[in-house]
Amino acid sequence: MLKNLFSELAGMQYSRGLLEQAFLLTLTALMDLCDSHTARHSKNVADYSEIIAREMGLSIDDQKAIYLAGLLHDVGKIGVPRSSLSKPGKLTDEELREVHKHPVLSHELIAEIPGFKGIAEIVLYHHERYDGHGYPHGIKGDEIPLASRILCVADSFDAMVSGRVYRHAITIQEAIVELEQCAGTQFDPEVVLAFCSYLRKKGLSACLPHAGAYDHEKTNSRGG
Ligand SMILES: [Fe+2]
């Protein structure tokens, strides 16, 4: 239904900027309605991703695309059973399969927005791992778009410092150690280097207004 709505609106004579804003507002409002934690997490991921892209010297256009991808990366969770997303314990194989569908669902939704195909591609690969053990396609290294590798680090970092119903939050210092330990396996080492250098340069928490800002009673969502 949402996809039909996008197609219909795109066929009308509205300006692209206006349509883009309308789509973004609609999707972020939907995410907030379904799960306020995911909406907050998405804003954090967008901010961190933009910082990394800037630190790596990417163009302003690329920074904007990565920011938007961060905002929308988990929108596909709208199509995943809430019971799986908020389950405190270990997921069954079937529940895990459902959760692992969300990058593809996000991609399908975002690709419907006029001019957002590139952003949809970034989102599709945000759970791929540098060593090829991620999902949905199990691609590795440079096969994964750089923007998706950036999103992956930002996403994981926010999950670490914010906590989840199945995992306590850790400190920013501890998160830096974990990112560095997973550089070359889960994460692109160059992306980790850029982000960790920035965090250390800025004095850790001083540069992260969102970190630790969660109401943990409302922290109820699974995955990044
Ligand atoms: Fe995700």
- pLDDT tens for the chain, 224 residues long, are 555 656 666 666 656 677 777 777 777 777 777 776 777 888 899 999 999 999 999 999 999 999 999 999 999 998 888 888 888 888 999 999 999 999 999 999 999 887 899 999 999 999 999 999 999 999 999 999 999 999 999 999 999 998 776 678 899 999 999 999 999 999 999 999 999 999 998 876 555 555 443 333 333 445 56
If DSSP codes are grouped into helix, strand and coil, which group holds residue 91? Answer: coil
217 found inside a domain: no
| pLDDT (0 to 100) of residue 115 | 84
Structural domain boundaries enclosing 159: 2-207
| pLDDT (0 to 100) of residue 214 | 38
* Domain total of the chain: 1
The alpha carbon of 14 and the centre of ligand 1 are apart by a number of angstroms equal to 31
Q: Which helix (H) or strand (E) holds 36?
A: helix 36-55
CATH of the domain at 104: 1.10.3210.10
Could you say which DSSP state residue 187 is in? B
Mind giving me the DSSP string for 64-79? HHHHHHHHHTTGGGGG
Q: Please, are residues 45 and 158 in contact by the beta-carbon 8 Å criterion?
A: yes
Tokens of 46: 């967008």
Mind giving me the DSSP string for 117-183? HHHHHHHHTTT--TTS--SSS---GGGS-HHHHHHHHHHHHHHHHH-BTTB----HHHHHHHHHHTB
13 found inside a domain: yes
Q: Please, are residues 31 and 38 in contact by the beta-carbon 8 Å criterion?
A: yes
Catalytic residue list contains 77: yes
Tokens of 99: 């959760």
Q: Taking each helix axis from N to C terminus, what angle separates 60-72 and 117-124, rounded to the nearest 10 degrees?
A: 60
Tokens of 192: 């980790």
24 found inside a domain: yes
CA dist 160 and 139 (Å) reads 24
The alpha carbon of 12 and the centre of ligand 1 are apart by a number of angstroms equal to 32
223 found inside a domain: no
Please tell me the pTM assigned to this model. Answer: 0.84
| pLDDT (0 to 100) of residue 83 | 86
Q: Which of 3, 43, 77, 101 is catalytic?
A: 77
73 found inside a domain: yes
The alpha carbon of 220 and the centre of ligand 1 are apart by a number of angstroms equal to 14
Q: What is the pLDDT of residues 18-66, one digit of tens each?
A: 777 777 777 777 777 777 677 788 889 999 999 999 999 999 999 999 9
What end-to-end distance do the CA atoms of the chain give, in Å?
A: 25
| pLDDT (0 to 100) of residue 69 | 95
Q: Which helix (H) or strand (E) holds 26?
A: helix 16-34
Q: Please, are residues 128 and 184 in contact by the beta-carbon 8 Å criterion?
A: no
Q: Please, are residues 101 and 76 in contact by the beta-carbon 8 Å criterion?
A: yes
The alpha carbon of 126 and the centre of ligand 1 are apart by a number of angstroms equal to 7
The alpha carbon of 201 and the centre of ligand 1 are apart by a number of angstroms equal to 28
213 found inside a domain: no
184 found inside a domain: yes
224 found inside a domain: no
What dihedral angle (degrees, nearest 10) is formed by the CA atoms of 42, 47, 52, 53?
90
